[in-house]
Amino acid sequence: MVTECGIPQGENFTYIIDTTNQVGDLWIHGHAHSQLTDGFRTPFIIHEKIKPSTYDEEKLLYFEDWNERAFKDMVAIDAKLKLADFPPSYRTMLINGVNANTSKSLHFEPRKRY
């Protein structure tokens, strides 16, 4: 786990993370205010130096809850309706960061290894 203080607006910070003994599909996300709920998250993939098996192509499928309203607006609506769930309820989901109604299809070919 990496935890740092917030980065001031207009500034930058370079994370140096030792992944020597780590391999796998992870994710990174923000915790300040509503960053996580409003979409500040992304996959973080650490590949092995030597592939354990061969495959023809790699495809990432990343699913996330989504609401077209900002977090602060969802909290206000839930409070008005006296809903107790937190975080506020989501109306849809995104696949690879886009709405399924607007995303391109993922094509998989027979006899190909993914």
pLDDT score of 114 more than 70: yes
Q: CA-CA distance, 65 to 38, in Å (whole number)? A: 10
Predicted confidence at residue 94, as pLDDT, reads: 80
Q: Taking residues 76-89, report their average pLDDT.
A: 68
d(CA 100, CA 93): 8
Helix and strand counts by DSSP (H, E) for the chain: 1, 5
Contact 33, 92 (CB under 8 A): no
Q: Which of 28, 40, 36 is CA-nearest to residue 2? A: 28
Per-residue model confidence as pLDDT tens digits over 3-37: 777 778 899 988 888 888 888 888 887 776 677 66
Cα 69 to Cα 16: distance, rounded to the nearest angstrom? 34
List 44's β-bridge partners, or say none: 26
pLDDT for 89 equals 65
